[in-house]
Amino acid sequence: MEFNTICVMGLGYIGLPTASTFASRGIKVIGVDANPRVVESLQNGHVHIYEPGLRELVSESLASGNLIIRNQPKPADAFIIAVPTPFYDDKKADMRFVRSAAEAIAPFVRQGNLVVLESTSPPMTTCGIVAPILERGGMKAGEDFYLTYSPERVLPGQILRELIENARVIGGVNHSSAEAGRDLYRIFVKGEIILTDATTAEMVKLMENTYRDVNIAIANEFSRLADRFGIDVWEAIRIANLHPRVKILNPGPGVGGHCISVDPWFLVEAAPDIATLIRTSRQVNDSQPEFVIRLIQQVLGKDLHGKRIAVLGLAFKPDVDDLRESPAVDIARHLAAKGAQVKAFEPNKPDAEIEGVPAVDSLSKALEDAELVLVLVGHKEFRSLEATQVVKQTPARLLVDAVNVMPAEAFKQAGFRVFRLGVGHEL
């Protein structure tokens, strides 16, 4: 199957790299987003998200004319839905964006077209939600047009490389749809392309992130146990991992991002009577920020009102600008809500405006009048900090390291009292 024009619905962390990668291969791509600020920004050549290499790729794609940005879809040979799938406060999937995208493209889908859902979704979304919307005009999915599910499986910070090199799962509503999806992604994918059915592909994506979530949960629970027993969880993990069949992950302040912190809930929603381990793991990771706050209270006292805290890092993981579902943001908000005078600095998004989080645009501003320095994300900017320089920038002499990236001995020699998540005593 040949593709001359592709319409990509949603220009976020997955849609924009995908659209630009297709455009870089000489395909005409219509990039569509419902957010007028995103559309205007891209039309003016400004990229609204940070991902290594993305700004250059988008600029080249726009300059070539292969990528055009619109607020409405247009006819194409293939349509890719890459919109967000968040959840409501009760942890139920919010599928409004997927439905809206499917409804928007439905009038343009013609005989022989391919529609791909990339958005991470609960099982049966492709067959149970997208297909019925597209079939309202009288055509049948798998017969008159092709319909597949192909989840993104990339790591923020390495998206452009992994889009091309990672294995790609194509789940069709029938085999001919899966083959059409394979033909589309062969345009740029160098990794293995695996064909299956749509619901299996949906399940694969959820399984991958749920597996990670469960493993992080046990590491986080180990950190709480170590704190209770008065030992160093980082030392215990290092020793345990010497066993050839053990690989315990590192604990941290929680789990964030739009995948691992969200996807397991889709399985809990779909089968609440079965997914008990998955639910418990989610509850452990969702409550980990509370454990960090208790550690801070052990250091500063239970009453945090008026306490001056420099929060270093707001992203959900190191060296990205993605703040979605970030436990660091959650911790900063809770500290501010408890009356602490918070100054948060995110080096990858210094202009971040986050409701409930007082943010500053430089490290020096965050440190200048702090009494406690709280490291929540292991960004390279923080990993490279010299204790002798930090001590000159702040009156703080208390350091709480929630991610084990600060050299404790160096900071102790510089005059800091050092505390680390998962260590039941001062270092």
Catalytically active residues are: 205, 259
3-state secondary structure string across 38-103: HHHHHHCCCCCCCCCCHHHHHHHHHHHCCEEEECCCCCCCEEEECCCCCECCCCCECCHHHHHHHH
Q: What six digits make up the tokens of 234? A: 């980082």
- For tokens 């660091």, what's the residue? 328
Cβ atoms of 330 and 376 within 8 Å: the answer is: no
Q: Of 133, 132, 131, give the one whose Cα is nearest residue 146.
A: 131
Cβ atoms of 108 and 77 within 8 Å: the answer is: no
DSSP state of 128: I
Cβ atoms of 47 and 54 within 8 Å: the answer is: yes
Question: Cβ–Cβ contacts within 10 Å for residue 359, how many?
Answer: 21
Which value, in Å, is the radius of gyration of the alpha carbons in the chain?
Answer: 23
Question: Angle 283-286-287 (CA atoms, 0-180°, nearest 5)?
Answer: 85
Cα–Cα distances in angstroms (integers) from residue 28 to residues 6, 62, 69, in the given order = 6, 11, 11
What is the bridge-based pairing of β-strands 146-149 and 168-172? antiparallel
If 0-12 CB within 10 Å is exposed, 13-18 middle and 19+ buried, where does residue 362 land?
exposed
